[in-house]
């Protein structure tokens, strides 16, 4: 009986030692990584991110310039970007690519339709037959303006605000029901 108990205890102690050694070997990489993380965390200094500081300084300067800006409606009546941000329905800035043609408004007249086009930071009021840079206005209607250049047609839709788009969509839903 004593030999049997002793053998059992020896097996239990041996198995325990093997399990302790295996678990120590498995946890060693975790402990090593933890020490690295702890060392990096000790070296972090808050408030000294140069890129963040540069961005904050840029935004503060821009805000200061905007607060000093005197808006004059007589100079450029369609240039409201100095006062308002043009954003889409999610709050992202709408792209203002300078080389891109944007139809900002269509004016329906009794004799001829007119369109207001923004191109290279300038606003043009055009009718059919007028030219904007190397493009000639071929067609103006309520939804789009067609410009031609070297026998190619370019269709530019009228830019609408997100509020107009949602109102138009809800109006279509009501009409369909």
Domain boundaries of the chain, sorted by first residue = 1-41, 102-166
For the stretch 114-152, pLDDT in tens is 999 888 878 889 999 998 888 999 989 888 899 998 888
Q: Worst-scoring range by mean pLDDT, 4-8, 16-20, 102-106, 145-149?
A: 102-106
Determine the pLDDT at residue 173. 44
Residues with Cβ within 8 Å of residue 125, at least 6 apart in sequence? 107, 114, 115, 116
**Hey, which residues does 144 pair with through a beta bridge?**
157
9 pLDDT band, cuts 50/70/90, is: very high
Assigned fold of 102-166: SH3 type barrels. (2.30.30)
Q: What pLDDT is attached to residue 7?
A: 94
DSSP 126-141: E-TT-EETTEEEEEE-
The overall pTM is greater than 0.85: no
Question: What backbone torsions phi and psi does residue 3 show, to the nearest 5 degrees?
Answer: -65, -40
**pLDDT above 70 for 97:** no
Arithmetic mean of pLDDT, 27-48: 85
Average pLDDT, the chain: 78
Higher pLDDT, 45 or 54: 54
* Integer Cα distance of 81 and 104 in angstroms: 13
């Amino acid at each position: 009986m004593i030999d049997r108990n002793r053998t059992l205890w020896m097996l239990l102690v041996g198995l325990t030692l093997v399990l302790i050694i295996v678990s120590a070997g498995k946890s060693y990489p975790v402990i090593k990584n933890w020490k690295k993380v702890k060392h990096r965390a000790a070296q972090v200094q808050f408030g000294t991110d140069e890129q963040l500081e540069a961005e904050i300084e840029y935004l503060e300067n821009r805000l200061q310039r905007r607060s000093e800006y005197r808006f004059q409606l007589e100079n450029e009546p369609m240039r409201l970007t100095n006062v308002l941000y043009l954003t889409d329905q999610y709050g992202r800035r709408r792209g203002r690519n300078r080389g891109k043609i944007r139809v900002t408004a269509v004016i329906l007249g009794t004799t001829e339709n007119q369109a207001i086009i923004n191109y290279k930071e300038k606003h043009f009021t055009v009718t059919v037959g007028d030219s904007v840079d190397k493009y000639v206005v071929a067609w103006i209607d309520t939804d789009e303006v067609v410009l031609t250049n070297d026998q190619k047609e370019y269709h530019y839709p009228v830019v609408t605000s997100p509020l107009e788009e949602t109102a138009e969509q809800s109006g279509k839903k009501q009409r369909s029901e």
